[in-house]
Amino acid sequence: MPVEQRLRLVTAVPGPRSCELAARKAATIANGVGNVLPAYIVEAGGGILIDVDGNQLIDFGSGIAVTTVGNSAPAVVARVREAVERFTHTCFMVTPYEGYLEVAERLAELTPGDHPKKSALFNSGAEAVENAIKIARVATGRPAVVCFDHAYHGRTNLTMALTAKDMPYKHGFGPFASEIYRAPMAYPYRWPGDPTRVAEEAFAQFESQVHVQVGENQVAAVIIEPIQGEGGFIVPPVGFLPRIAQWCRDHGTVFIADEIQTGFCRTGDWFACDHEDVVPDLITTAKGIAGGLPLAAVTGRAELMDAVHIGGLGGTYGGNPIACAAAVGAIEEMQSGDLCGRARQIEAIVRARLQAMATRYEAIGDVRGRGAMLAVELVAPGGRQPDAALTGAVARACHARGVVVLTAGSYGNVLRFLPPLSISDELLREGFDVVEEAFADVLAG
């Protein structure tokens, strides 16, 4: 039965049943596994999450940019149901199946560039990033990888090394993988140099640091999120990504675009690289690819992908048949429903709301992002000092009023909005009415 598309609170959020479950969580689940909002969900669809107490919450998080096509999207459910009744697992490395090939064929068509491409499928974003680095190292015979300030690439050992932020992602978990080097990110709002030359200056620093500290011919790969996700929806200025891609071409280095958060219509294009016609050598995808089922991929130039010896890539569950069926359904839904266009419509509504709020609240220092991936950076009045306490207070006030929002940013001062693209305009507007109320209350109080 379709989920009613209406915000409705019948208890406090979280309610009593959720609190009982939270007590069970405290007794059985490791402390390190946190919850943003401990309202336990029993059903979801469109733009609504229904919790165990019967509250209907507006979803501005999409399970961290995963349910782009919506929760239990009909095209995904139909494909999954049909697949799960036939078989659940064989391991593609043992006895293969067609669904894996279908996903790889879609990826070859949809990802940037018209060169011959191949893919390998995995379970999580971090696993895809690890494998992209493995491929780049074998293909080039070089050890070093360059990543950026404010980057997030995952929580495994190699991806923690690539991720920038200490707490909570890296703190105490070292030592980390070696041969990882970090360059400044073109972060317009916080660029210390000339605000009109951020792309040029950031690229010049990248070029000089790599030359001095690493050596161009040692660099296997440069990895970058075309719009940084966990780092705070940082959009590099036009020209930065093409310069990095060109530098990689000039030096025989593999350019890896980590589109795990930005991919699959989220930013109003199939991939964020499309915005400036940047063609990565390898692209990592996950999250939105399969409507909520765990699936990830590395897709790239056939000659790079084929550099690895047989048996060098894989994993027991990578490209699980149910997840592949879900991905085929999700991609069909994105194509038939023009979800790239829908992301741009959502951007028009949300950006206007956030910009209007920024004129009223001095605490909103910056409004940024693209498509249905927008954020505000909150600062102390009169300057740009990050205000993480205010950000947390506004997020909690949204949660208490039934709107699920997420925070982000190296300084914890970014409120980010990632609604499912299946949300209605009406619900989107209602959700932002609540966000505005939350701002007004917190700032008044």
Ligand X SMILES: Cc1ncc(COP(=O)(O)O)c(C=O)c1O
Question: Which residues lie near ligand X (CB under 6 A)?
Answer: 64, 124-126, 129, 152-154, 225, 229-230, 258, 260-261, 286
**Residue whose CB is less far from ligand X, 148 or 439:** 148
Residue 371 Cβ vs ligand X, minimum distance, rounded to whole Å: 15
Chain position carrying tokens 């790599």 = 210
User: CA 128 from chain center: how many Å?
Assistant: 13
Q: Is 211 helix (H, G, I), strand (E, B) or coil?
A: helix
Least distance (Å) between residue 47 CB and ligand X = 21
Half-sphere CA count of 94, side-chain side, radius 13 A:
9
- Here the tokens at position 334 are 């994105």
Q: Is the bond into 386 cis (omega within 30 degrees of 0)?
A: no
CB neighbours of residue 369 within 10 Å: 26
Q: How far is the CB of 230 from ligand X (least distance, A)?
A: 6
Q: Are 358 and 364 in contact (CB under 8 A)?
A: yes
Quote the least distance from Cβ 287 to ligand X, whole Å: 7
CA distance 387 to 357: 17
CB of 82 or CB of 166, closer to ligand X: 166
- To ligand X, the closest distance from the beta carbon of 286 in angstroms equals 5
Helix (H, G, I), strand (E, B) or coil at 119: strand
Number of Cβ atoms within 10 Å of the Cβ of 104 = 19
Instruction: Give residue number: closest CB to ligand X.
Output: 125
Closest to 329 in 3D by CA, of 39, 72, 130: 72
> In the complex with ligand X, which residue's Cβ is closer, 260 or 282?
260
Of residues 18 and 62, the one with the C-beta less far from ligand X = 62
Q: Can you tell me the distance from the alpha carbon of 307 to that of 25, in angstroms, rounded to the nearest whole number?
A: 45
Paired residues of 379 in beta bridges: 386
15/229 with CB nearer ligand X? 229
Instruction: Please state the φ and ψ torsions of residue 183, each to the nearest 5 degrees.
Output: -115, 160
Task: Report in angstroms how near the CB of residue 355 gets to ligand X at its nearest.
Answer: 25
In degrees rounded to 5, what are phi and psi of residue 148? -130, 155
Nearer CB in complex with ligand X: 260/376: 260
Nearer to ligand X, 20 or 317 (CB): 317
Smallest gap, in angstroms, from Cβ of residue 273 to ligand X? 13
